[in-house]
Structure 1
Amino acid sequence: MLHPVGPLPASVYWRRRVLVLTLLVSVLGGGGWVGYAVATGRFDDGTTTVAATSSAPPATPALERVVPSLAGVQLPTGAASTTANPPSTAAAGPCTDDMITVEVRAPAGVAVGTQATFVLLVSNVATVPCIRSFDEQLQELVLRDLAGNRIWGSHDCRADTSDVRRTLAPAEVVSFSVEWSGLTSEPTCTAPRMPPPPGAYLLQGRLGTENSAVAQISIA
């Protein structure tokens, strides 16, 4: 084998032998590496890595491209989605006599035969609003002497009537002014009217069945 025999030059046969030997060594080396890789698990790791890196993400279903996922939808919180209902206002009831006060105001002194302005005040002393009738026929001021004799009344010689209902808020005050002519009067308006004599007189007002305290007036 070391001395090739043939019609060709010896160098040709040597090159052929070197080429065959190289191929043989390559085949043997490659087979050994594959066996070593299989034995140590490197071959499987490499295959898995390649498969993992080369695998493409799963395609998005057609329906999810149209309808968004619920995870991406922001729902309003309970505080934001709750609409506060305005508090309901109960209808005001009637003003009973114990829910109001009636007061009269007048000048402390009036000259004989002169006009004076009397004022009737109605106040809501309750803690809730209420409705009261303020009809003309329910409002009255009466002037008496100290013996209790009737001297004048705001309803005398008048036939006015009205139908007025008003809602009073808590602590609200409503006032009505009445001009007194300075003369006496009586309900039938048939007796002569004249100035009352000088002296002390008592003025009282009312609204329906609720009476005011008495205010004293001096006529001089």
Structure 2
Amino acid sequence: MAVGALVVALALVIWLVLTVSRGGDSPGDTKPVAAGSSSTTTSKAAEASTTKAAAPVESSAPAPPSAASTASNEPAAGPGQCPDQSLAIKISVDQPTYRVGEQPNFRIVITNISSTQCQRDMNLAQIQASVLSLDGQRRIWASSDCSPVDESNARNLKPGEQALFTVRWSGTTSQQGCVGERVPVPAGAYQVVAQFGSLHSSPEPFNLTPS
């Protein structure tokens, strides 16, 4: 009995030694993972996911037209008619003195003094330059007497924009309808004025001297 008990005890000791030496490994256990490997893998996956989500997505659908581009397709309304009160007229003489027999040159400027663009027919039949005696009492010549040009000359004027016209005087008298004899005007002091519609310019003086 003592020998049998000794054999059993010896077999138990041997089994314990073998179990400890194998580290307790069994089919149901898993190998431990090295420290940090799991967190590193998770971190890289999260970074890849973040990068992909941040990438912009391009769309092939055309953008809807803006209000400005839509408005540009609509025809713009034309400028309105320039009333007389929206215009100013001025006349000047190229030089203050001419000799008898020379042909003075007058410049007429019509300016849009309003704050909006407008349109006006400025044919030369309506724009008139008149030479008067210095006191303005005697009419000597008018540009419309013998050259009534009645051709349409529509002008679009922006605010502050000007239209320039030049008129040359032959230095002779004239009457409305170009009737009667035209004679050279003698030396003396004269003035010239311009008219367009109801607009009248300030008189501009000049002189004719003996030739």
Residue 94 (structure 1) shift? 2.3
Output the TM-score relative to the length of structure 1. 0.64
Q: 2:85 aligns to what SS in structure 1?
A: helix
1:12-91 map, 5 Å: 18-20=10-12, 22-23=14-15, 83=66, 85=68, 91=78
Instruction: Give 5+ residue unaligned stretches, structure 2.
Output: 43-51
- Which letter does structure 2 place at the counterpart of 1:19? A
Residue 110 (structure 1) shift? 2.0
1:114 to 2:102 alignment = yes
Residue 18 (structure 1) shift? 2.1
Counterpart of 1:217 in structure 2 is 206
Once the two structures are superposed, what CA deviation does each residue of 1:108-158 show, in whole Å capped at 9, x if it has no partner? Answer: 222222211111111122232221221121111011113522110101112
- Which letter does structure 1 place at the counterpart of 2:114? A
CA distance in 2, matches of 1:115, 1:135: 22
Counterpart of 1:193 in structure 2 is 182
Counterpart of 1:140 in structure 2 is 128
Q: 2:182 aligns to what SS in structure 1?
A: coil
CA distance in 1, matches of 2:9, 2:53: 74
- Which letter does structure 1 place at the counterpart of 2:195? R
Aligned-residue Cα RMSD (Å) equals 3.9
CA distance in 1, matches of 2:136, 2:167: 24
Counterpart of 1:43 in structure 2 is none
- Which letter does structure 2 place at the counterpart of 1:122? I
CA distance in 1, matches of 2:146, 2:175: 8
Share of identical aligned residues, percent? 25
Structure number with the higher helix fraction is 1
Instruction: Give 5+ residue unaligned stretches, structure 1.
Output: 5-12, 34-45, 58-68
CA distance in 2, matches of 1:187, 1:3: 166
Match of 1:178 among 158, 167, 191: 167
CA distance in 2, matches of 1:14, 1:126: 131
Work out whether residues 123 and 149 of structure 2, in 8 Å CA contact, stay in contact via their aligned partners in 1. Answer: no
- Which letter does structure 2 place at the counterpart of 1:115? Q
Once the two structures are superposed, what CA deviation does each residue of 1:185-208 show, in whole Å capped at 9, x if it has no partner? Answer: 111212111112222222110122
